[in-house]
Amino acid sequence: MADIGLIGTKARKNGKVVEGVDIYMGGKVGKDAKLGSRTMKGIPCEDLKPVMRDLLIKHFDAQPLNVDVVSRDAHPGGRSRTRVDEPADYDNGNGKNGQAQTAVVAFAKSGKEITCSQAEFILDVAEREGLELDSDCRSGICGTCKQKLLAGKVTYDEDPEALTAGDRAQGMILTCSAHPVGRVEIDA
Ligand code: FES
């Protein structure tokens, strides 16, 4: 039984495309192998540790250890980095105790309301539930995934290139790069 599966993909961090993974859960290995369903998409490898930690705590009753872990960047050619962020430092919507905070994304046009983690991107949440939103680069560069935020607040890991000050003033967000905070409503 494979409870968590990782598939390599491209992810975006600090405006750059980096090595990342999609996370699948509920799949099987061996005879009758199946992939399971995609739970999270485009997690940069260097951010994987706190995300996996949250999943293990949330879905497998893992108990967190309060240890300060120091490690070297495992990616040759990557940016120099000597400390692996503990979950409290991971700002993709995780709370101070390292557990992913719950959010709700409401899609006004389709009438769907989806509970998710604040660590997820709104576009991924929509796709997981079968909603097809326009997207292209999935990296905050092209602007294809722009949608209007009707209510609530979103955060970004960094300022996305494709979101201008004018867009922000009009309440536009980039769903490929925006994390929901609490309850948000999107005009889609
Ligand atoms: S898909 Fe290109 S900016 Fe979101």
Domain boundaries, the chain: 4-89, 102-186
64-120 pLDDT per residue, tens? 654 444 434 444 444 333 333 333 333 444 444 455 689 999 999 999 999 999 999
Which is it for the CA torsion 20, 159, 139, 147, positive or negative?
A: positive
156-184 pLDDT per residue, tens? 999 999 999 999 999 999 999 999 999 99
CA 182 to chain centre: 15
- Could you give the CA distance from residue 67 to residue 57 in angstroms, rounded to a whole number? 15
Q: What is the CATH number of domain 102-186?
A: 3.10.20.30
pLDDT of residue 185: 98
- Could you give the CA distance from residue 88 to residue 165 in angstroms, rounded to a whole number? 30
Q: What is the CATH number of domain 4-89?
A: 3.30.413.10
**Residue range 20-48: mean pLDDT, rounded:** 77
Measured from the Cα of 143, ligand 1's closest atom is 3
Q: Among 10, 142, 163, 186, which residue has the most ligand 1 atoms within 8 Å of its CB, making it the best to mutate? A: 142
7-16 pLDDT per residue, tens? 788 777 766 7
By the 8 A CB rule, do 186 and 150 touch?
yes
What single letter denotes the amino acid at residue 78? G
Ligand 1-lining residues (CB < 6 angstroms): 135-138, 140-145, 162, 174, 176
- How far does the centroid of ligand 1 lie from the alpha carbon of residue 175, in Å? 7
